[in-house]
A = this chain, B = another copy of it.
């Protein structure tokens, strides 16, 4: 499973392209297609295709996430998709009979792109499906998939054991207040950050970590206080304010093989305000969602399904 997923995404990045959907949402393909040009000191946006990025995506998505496998045949349920879209849409419910669609559509998974919303760092996937009308009559056993992203193998998709050094901490009031910095759990700091010289009185270093968009964040990591503990000071408050973090949200750090750091966020589940808070909701909502599928079936072409693993 892990290997397959990695392959799938590597393919995506090789044939990188950017469609209209990328207008507001930052997508991996766009960013990784930016060349290796030397970038300015306070900017950087070119996540590599290393496995640590995939791991970061999965960790941000939550460990329970599983994804459809590229190349597999899945079943797309228009009704299910419509209901899901309706739940986050401001428009009144629509009648599925408007579209001349069968209740189940067999599709091959052509592509699975791991993406992240540029506005709020929400992770999501774009699944590219190609209808397979010749399979319309077969038995469902084994190869089925719900409309949105339940993998055949159940919950086996998170790359737990290939992420040796990572931690995730729910932010406290002190972490998010402007009064101080971020208190790093001891184990976390020792696992993920370069070691400090504990013989010094207040050993410190600069950490640089990239988020899902390839943006670099810099933090001063210091070991001080009585009792002594690990803290992130300078740079932390900027990160909190730019990402709009509040206590209850979580931040996570990953250390790659080469020692490079990645960081991501996982927001606390907040009461829904009824308005779609991400581009995903809009892309999946009326009147597009089913007409696109219907058109794909009619023309035997591909269509896209967006999927937010966390909802």
Contacts and interface: CB of A to CB of B under 8 A. Distances in A.
Q: How many A residues are at the interface, by size bracket? A: 20 to 34
A33 B18 CA distance: 18
A298 to B, nearest CB: 32
Contacts of A213: 40
A273 interface: no
Nearest to A29: B37
Contacts of A118: 38, 40-41
Interface in A1-25: 18, 22
Which of A26, A31, A34, A214 has the most chain B CB within a 10 Å cutoff?
A: A34
Given A43-B215, A215-B43, A35 B34 contact: yes
Which of A26, A31, A41, A213 has the most chain B CB within a 10 Å cutoff?
A: A41
A199 to B, nearest CB: 30
Interface string A201-221: 000000000000111000000
Which of A26, A37, A41 has the most chain B CB within a 10 Å cutoff?
A: A37
A183 to B, nearest CB: 25
A30 interface: yes
Interface in A85-141: 118
Nearest to A211: B40
A170 B40 CA distance: 25
A45 interface: yes
A39 interface: yes
Interface of A: 18, 22, 26, 30-31, 33-35, 37-45, 118, 213-215, 242
Given A40-B215, A42-B215, A43-B215, 20 more contacts: A18-B37, A22-B38, A26-B38, A30-B38, A31-B37, A31-B40, A33-B35, A33-B37, A34-B34, A34-B37, A34-B39, A35-B35, A40-B44, A40-B45, A40-B118, A40-B213, A41-B118, A42-B42, A43-B44, A43-B45
